[in-house]
Amino acid sequence: MSRPNIDWPTLGFDYLRTDLRYLSHWRGGAWDGGTLTGDNTLHISEASSALHYGQQCFEGLKAYRCRDGSVNLFRPDRNAARMHRSSARLLMPPVPTETFIDACRQVVRANLGYLPPYGTGGALYLRPFLIGVGHNVRVASAPEFLFSVFCFPVGPYFKGGLTPTNFVVSRYDRAAPNGTGAAKVGGNYAASLLPGQEARGQGFADGIYLDPETHTKIEEVGSANFFGITRDGKVVTPRSPSILPGVTRDSLMYLARERLGLEVEERDVYVDRLGDFAEAGACGTAAVITPIGGVQHGETFHVFHSETEVGPVTRRLYDELTGIQFGDVEAPEGWTVKVE
């Protein structure tokens, strides 16, 4: 096992070539056995539908080093299930859940030296992806597919951790009303590159996307899900067919209800009613929880109650979630899968 020389506290969210990645090929109607390879490049047909028609989907999850030295995967079955839905939407063959979790396990075990130590706050980010390959230039599903999982160590996605961050309501849409917003596909991300750059150019961390039909309701915060805490202590997350159903969002709603005893609502979140919320945040595997300090919407800048400090409910949710992920707090049944 290699022992890379990594300065754990300064880790951000950047690609780093690790030792081994998993690769499996679907051909003639079936997946092969899959292998670990040291090669971090792919050799695919120039006519691959992943390149021309965006036939690809991906996932993101993390492995966490616990205090006792063991390693947790957080709810990998949920990522496997979501990849099934994404692949079905894009006519790609499903990766069986057992294969998906086994591939993640193998990749973590093969790169243990890159797993940030307990207490640094870092984790090993896993990136499973599925792409259409083979010779095909017609707008039709690819004849072959690749499923791969690679990994790299990460710190917090938005630098500053639990520091409130400002976002701007985007003038663009990331998805269409009956489009692919609920699937974790590259096309949604391609559509978000320009809005993201514009938002950062204006001094914001990222753009907030409204519902593509009426442009009145909050859907996503960059590539993370929105949640808010109402002034009377309810935890609210948007309901919409075009948001990406995040594992973090689902977990936070469960923890808010079952562990913190709070009322939870999935409902419309009107962008002109942000005053209803005492706290708000963005959540996702990469971002974990990023408190939202303020939201620029046209000429108005809405400031949340605690612009400079994380709110109390957000803090409790963060502690409960990360406590479970790092094995310090008892996990709900089936949430953590031991790799080691």
Ligand X SMILES: *Cc1c(COP(=O)(O)O)cnc(C)c1O
Residues forming the site for ligand X (CB under 6 A): 60, 184, 220, 223-225, 244, 246-249, 284-285
Residue closer to ligand X (CB basis): 223 or 296: 223
Task: Give the nearer residue to ligand X in terms of CB position, either 110 or 288.
Answer: 288
d(CA 14, CA 22) in angstroms, rounded, equals: 19
Block residue for tokens 């307990």:
118
Smallest separation, CB 169 to ligand X (Å): 16
Query: By the 8 A CB rule, do 268 and 256 touch?
Result: no
Residue 86 token pair: 């994404």
* Cβ nearer to ligand X, comparing 121 with 245: 245
Question: Do 293 and 165 meet the contact criterion of CB atoms below 8 Å apart?
Answer: yes
By beta carbon distance, the residue nearest ligand X is: 246
Minimum gap (Å) between residue 14 Cβ and ligand X: 18
| Extended beta strands in the chain, E state | 21-27, 30-31, 35-37, 56-58, 61-65, 71-74, 123-133, 144-154, 165-169, 207-210, 218-221, 224-230, 235-238, 264-267, 277-284, 288-297, 300-303, 336-338
Q: Which of 62, 184, 217, 338 is catalytic?
A: 184
CB of 66 to ligand X, least distance (A): 20
Q: Which of 226, 174, 216 is nearest to 195 (CA)?
A: 174
- The answer to whether the beta carbons of residues 221 and 242 sit under 8 Å apart is no
Our CB check for ligand X shows the closer of 169 and 244 to be 244
Beta bridge partners of 236: 228, 265
Q: How far is the CB of 218 from ligand X (least distance, A)?
A: 12
Closest approach, Cβ 181 to ligand X, in A, equals 8
Both tokens of 131, joined, read 């792409």
- The pair phi, psi for residue 222, each rounded to 5°, is 60, -125
On whether the CB atoms of residues 258 and 224 are closer than 8 A, the answer is: no
Whether 217 sits among the annotated catalytic residues: the reply is no
Query: Which is closer to ligand X, CB of 21 or CB of 184?
Result: 184
For residue 330, give both structure tokens.
């008892």
Closest CA to 107 of 144, 155, 140, 59: 59
Asked if residue 135 lies in contact with residue 45, where contact means CB atoms within 8 angstroms, the answer is yes
Q: Among residues 136 and 325, whose Cβ is nearest to ligand X?
A: 325
Instruction: Tell the smallest beta-carbon distance from residue 171 to ligand X (Å).
Output: 18
- Asked if residue 279 lies in contact with residue 314, where contact means CB atoms within 8 angstroms, the answer is yes
Query: 133 near 53, Cβ under 8 Å?
Result: no
Query: Minimum CB separation from ligand X for residue 220, in Å?
Result: 5
**Of 61 and 262, CB closest to ligand X:** 61
Which tokens belong to 99? 């294969």
Residues with a known catalytic role: 184
